[in-house]
């Protein structure tokens, strides 16, 4: 007994040491994990603060840019400044200044007009002070005036630190002077406080703040002056301990993390100061203290509990071992083990039976399977079947559910009882005076005395499926309706695009007709002069008639070409590409000439190259290598759309460059396999940011109302879906090249 006690004591000691060590290590690991998580939160808060210090100045720039856009488009303000009319400038500019103050949330702002000699013409923020020179104290202003360029950034002036944008002002390309918008650094600090709820101060290097008019009011900290802070009491205490390095500061039961992790740069990129942040870490340190106390108590409690539990368990196991050593009757031990296992299985089955979500019923056969008597039913079965266990146990199945008589389900019961094979009976709808439901059955024979059914109530599932079917039909109807609406909208926009192209070509034809009409007028005037002078004879009249009829025939041909150009073709036919391109050029030739645009057409067939310019003469070519099959009218629409886009791009380039000569070159190359059409221009090319969007429907680079955004989308659809071709583009040599690749149509194909 003494040895047993000694052994138990040793076991208890080891258990205590192991449990205490494990729980202590777990507590320490958990504490370090929590502290690491809090440090991660601290780093994240600092990152958010840095992002705000970038985002807020960007927001300020947008405020200034929007305000400047309003002002620079106000002709009255610009003319007043041009005329150096200070009274008119005040009259028309005051509303802009008030609007700018509102946008800046009423922090100090500047709105300032400067003359080219760096003197002040008018300050809206200080109306009574003007005519003074700022050349010695405002290097940012001096640089902007000298370069006549827009400059933005932070700058220190007499009255503080402002985020400024200085613009050169022009009227009819003549330089007038400069204009400045500025918003005080207080806006940035106020926004940062509102968004992040952080206490902060801003320190400026002493050499950079000598221009301040109120220099004596700023506190000196080492090599810096304090410009401002949003918690004077707190920072008064912080500065007493601050050495320039980050540290934890304790003040009035609160703990702060003091950090200077963001250098502040002016417009030139020079560091002029930094923000000193005071992050409140009071809650974090309190939480750590509480966590340590609670963890210590928890470790002690769990150690005692675990020690007691495992000590009893191990000693109990030792007692069982000793009892087994004493007992030698293996048969009795085996019997006890089997009985224990049977009891556990019964308990497991009972727990499973009572807690299954599906209904389970146990039956015994009546009259060798003529009917079945309820022996047991689980709670889910009572709920699903709307019955009570007390009311059905001992009763026959057909008595409880009379509607089951003669059904396939009842026959499945009898079949399983006869052959012992499990039976799955699919979902059926059952209804009587007690229950109405969709149910799925699984039938098993578990012994010579019992039949078990597991049945699943699928009523809600069937209802849900029915609702989903109804919803699906409704959605399909709505989708078809929207598709029809979108198709009608696209057809209308495509028609509008075609009408716009027709109008553009009619304008070109009008220019084309003007010359022969003028000539006809001169011929008629010449007849009158010849009659007066007596030179009118039969030879003259015949020549006059021939010349006039030739010009009239040319005008008539132009009408025919225009009518055929837009005539729709319902069926595919084979045609020569070069003929159609020449038709397009001839109808629009006067428009190119009037816009100072040179259009060239070259055709290469089997290494033979022919060129024609604005004279539009058909080259001497067999054409069989430039022949394709498709929709003629739609193809001409594609070509016209791309050429018009090139003309528009050149016109935009002219607005930027002034006197600018446009060039459009159409290169047609034919071989036995394919025909390649390249349309290039010198209109400046397509912006890289939108290159992937230009073939999207409704995408347009033109101002709203000046384009449908369907031209290139429809062109790509026609070429690639209806003519088995491909359309692509690239920027090259200051312009754009569109390439259309189409399968060639050889005459032998028709044969």
Q: Domains of the chain: which residue ranges?
A: 74-188, 198-280, 357-457, 570-750
pLDDT at 497 (0 to 100): 52
Tokens at residue 188, please? 């940035």
CATH 3.30.565.10 fits 570-750, yes or no: yes
Average pLDDT over residues 96-111: 88
Contacts of 597 (CB under 8 A, 6+ apart): 647, 650, 661, 662, 663, 664
pLDDT score at 480: 74
For 108, list phi and psi in degrees, rounded to 5. -60, 130
pLDDT-derived band at 518 (thresholds 50, 70, 90) equals low
Residue 706 scores a pLDDT above 60: no
Share of the chain above pLDDT 70, in %: 72
In tens, the pLDDT along 127-166 reads: 999 999 988 889 999 999 999 999 999 988 877 889 999 9
pLDDT at 97: 93
Least confident of 34-48, 57-71, 165-179: 34-48
145: Cβ contacts below 8 Å, ≥ 6 apart: 114, 116, 118, 168, 177, 178
CA distances from 349 to 352, 374, 442, 630 (A): 5, 18, 18, 77
Contact 103, 116 (CB under 8 A): no
Give 322-373 pLDDT, tens digit per residue: 666 566 667 656 756 766 776 666 676 678 777 777 888 888 888 888 888 8
**Token representation of residue 745:** 């149509």
- 126-130, 188-192, 382-386: range with lowest mean pLDDT: 382-386
- Greatest mean pLDDT among 122-131, 552-561, 608-617 lies in 122-131
Q: How confident is the model at residue 733 (pLDDT cuts 50, 70, 90)?
A: confident
pLDDT digits (tens, 9 = 90+) for 631-659: 888 888 888 889 888 888 888 888 888 78
Q: In degrees to the nearest 10, what's the CA dihedral of 223, 227, 233, 237?
A: -10
Q: Which of 488-492, 626-630, 661-665 is predicted least confidently?
A: 488-492
Identity of the highest mean pLDDT range in 113-122, 378-387, 610-619: 113-122
Q: 587 or 55: which carries more pLDDT confidence?
A: 55
The domain made up of 74-188 has a fold known as: Beta-Lactamase (3.30.450)
Q: Is the pLDDT of residue 527 over 90?
A: no
Q: In the predicted model, what is the mean pLDDT of residues 486-492?
A: 58
Q: pLDDT grade, residue 98 (50/70/90)? A: very high
| The predicted structure's pLDDT at residue 278 | 86
Q: Can you read off the two tokens belonging to residue 140?
A: 């940012």
- Mean local confidence (pLDDT), 38-63: 79
Options 3.60.130.10, 3.30.450.20, 2.60.260.20, 3.40.1350.10; CATH for 357-457 is 3.30.450.20
Q: Is the pLDDT of residue 614 over 50?
A: no
* Residue 123 predicted with pLDDT over 90: yes
Name the more confident of 397 and 11.
Answer: 397
The H or E element that residue 78 is part of is helix 75-82
Mean pLDDT across the chain: 78
540-549 residue pLDDT tens: 677 667 667 6
* Statement: residue 620 has pLDDT above 60: no
* Spatial CB neighbours of 354, under 8 Å, sequence gap ≥ 6: 378, 379
Helix (H) or strand (E) holding 99: helix 86-103
Residue 231: pLDDT band (50, 70, 90) is: confident
Residue 510 has pLDDT above 50, yes or no: yes
Instruction: Check if 357-457 and 570-750 are the same fold.
Output: no
> pLDDT band for position 77 (50/70/90)?
very high
From the CB of residue 206, how many other CB atoms can be counted at a distance below 10 Å?
A: 16
Max mean pLDDT range (440-449, 521-530, 683-692)? 683-692
More confident of the two residues 579 and 267? 267
Residue of higher predicted confidence among 538 and 601? 601
| The two three-digit tokens of residue 511, written as one number | 């220019």
Q: Is 731 helix (H, G, I), strand (E, B) or coil?
A: strand
| Averaged pLDDT for residues 15-36 | 71
Mean pLDDT of 445-449: 72
Overall average pLDDT of the 710-724 stretch: 85
pTM of the predicted model, to two decimals?
Answer: 0.39
More confident residue, 512 or 171: 171
- Arithmetic mean of pLDDT, 555-582: 66
pLDDT over 90 at 726, yes or no: yes
Average pLDDT over residues 513-536: 65
pLDDT at 119: 96
pLDDT at 320: 77
Of residues 303 and 225, more confidence is placed in 225
The candidate with the shortest Cα–Cα distance to 89, out of 220, 177, 205, 209, is 177
Which pLDDT value is given to residue 442? 79
Q: Can you give the pLDDT at residue 615?
A: 41
Say how far apart CA 570 and CA 633 lie, in whole Å.
9
d(CA 387, CA 384): 8
């Amino acid at each position: 007994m003494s040895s047993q006690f000694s052994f138990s004591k040793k076991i208890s000691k080891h258990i205590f040491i192991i449990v205490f060590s494990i729980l202590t290590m777990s507590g320490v690991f958990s504490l370090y994990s929590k502290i690491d998580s809090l440090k991660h939160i601290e780093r994240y808060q600092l990152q958010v603060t840095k992002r705000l210090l970038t985002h807020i100045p960007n927001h300020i720039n947008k405020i200034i840019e929007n305000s400047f856009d309003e002002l620079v488009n106000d002709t009255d303000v610009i003319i007043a400044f041009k005329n150096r009319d200070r009274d008119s400038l005040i009259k028309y500019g005051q509303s802009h200044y008030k609007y700018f103050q509102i946008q800046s949330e009423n922090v100090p702002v500047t709105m300032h007009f400067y003359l080219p000699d760096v003197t002040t013409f008018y300050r809206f923020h200080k109306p009574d002070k003007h005519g003074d020179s700022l050349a010695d104290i405002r290097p940012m202003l001096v640089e902007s005036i000298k370069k006549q360029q827009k400059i933005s950034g932070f700058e220190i002036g007499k009255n503080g630190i402002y985020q400024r944008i200085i613009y050169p002002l022009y009227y009819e390309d003549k330089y007038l002077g400069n204009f400045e918008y500025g918003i005080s650094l207080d806006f940035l600090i106020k926004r940062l406080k509102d968004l992040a709820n952080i206490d902060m101060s801003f320190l400026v290097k002493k050499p950079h703040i000598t221009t301040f008019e109120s220099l004596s009011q700023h506190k000196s900290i080492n090599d810096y002056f304090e410009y401002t802070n949003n918690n004077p009491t707190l920072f008064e205490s912080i500065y007493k301990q601050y050495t320039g390095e980050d540290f934890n500061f304790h003040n009035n039961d609160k703990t702060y993390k003091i950090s200077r992790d963001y250098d502040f740069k002016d417009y030139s990129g020079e560091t002029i100061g930094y923000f000193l942040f005071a992050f409140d870490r009071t809650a974090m340190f309190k939480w750590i203290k509480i966590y340590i106390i609670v963890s210590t108590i928890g470790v002690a409690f769990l150690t005692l509990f675990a020690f007691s539990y495992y000590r009893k368990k191990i000693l109990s196991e030792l007692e069982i071992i000793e009892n087994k050593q004493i007992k030698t009757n293996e048969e009795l031990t085996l019997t006890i083990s089997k009985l224990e296992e049977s009891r556990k299985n019964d308990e497991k089955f009972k727990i499973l039976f009572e807690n299954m979500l599906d209904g389970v019923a146990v039956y015994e056969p009546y009259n060798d399977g003529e009917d079945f008597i309820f022996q047991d039913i689980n709670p889910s079965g009572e709920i699903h079947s709307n019955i009570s266990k007390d009311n059905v146990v001992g009763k026959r199945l057909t008595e409880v559910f009379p509607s089951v008589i003669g059904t396939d389900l009842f026959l499945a019961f009898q079949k399983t009882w006869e052959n012992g094979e499990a039976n799955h009976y699919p979902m059926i709808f059952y209804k009587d005076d007690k229950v109405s439901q969709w149910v799925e059955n699984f039938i098993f024979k578990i012994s010579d005395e019992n039949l078990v059914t597991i049945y699943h109530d699928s009523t809600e599932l069937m209802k849900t499926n029915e609702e989903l079917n109804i919803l699906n039909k409704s959605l399909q109807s709505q989708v078809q309706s929207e598709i029809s609406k979108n198709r009608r909208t696209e057809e209308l926009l495509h028609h509008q695009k075609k009408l716009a192209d027709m109008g553009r070509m009619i304008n070109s034809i009008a220019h084309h007709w003007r010359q022969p009409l003028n000539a006809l007028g001169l011929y008629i005037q010449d007849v009158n002069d010849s009659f007066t002078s007596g030179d009118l004879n039969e030879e003259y009249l015949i020549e006059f008639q021939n010349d006039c009829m030739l010009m009239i025939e040319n005008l008539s041909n132009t009408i025919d070409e225009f009518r055929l150009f837009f005539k729709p073709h319902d069926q595919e036919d084979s045609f020569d590409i070069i003929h159609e391109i020449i038709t397009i050029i001839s109808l629009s030739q006067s428009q190119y000439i009037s816009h100072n645009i040179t259009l060239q057409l070259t055709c290469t067939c089997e290494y033979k190259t022919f060129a024609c310019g604005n004279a539009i003469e058909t080259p001497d070519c067999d054409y069989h290598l430039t022949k394709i099959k498709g929709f003629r009218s739609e193809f001409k629409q594609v070509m016209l759309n791309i050429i018009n886009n090139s003309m528009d791009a050149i016109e935009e380039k002219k607005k930027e460059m002034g006197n600018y000569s446009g060039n459009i070159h159409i290169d047609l190359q034919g071989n036995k396999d394919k025909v390649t059409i390249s349309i290039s221009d010198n209109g400046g090319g397509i912006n890289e940011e939108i290159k992937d969007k230009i073939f999207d429907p409704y995408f347009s680079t033109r101002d709203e109302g000046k384009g449908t955004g369907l031209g290139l989308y429809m062109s790509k659809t026609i070429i690639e879906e209806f003519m088995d071709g491909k359309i692509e583009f690239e920027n090259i040599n200051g312009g754009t090249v569109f390439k259309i690749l189409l399968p060639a149509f050889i005459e032998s194909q028709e044969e």
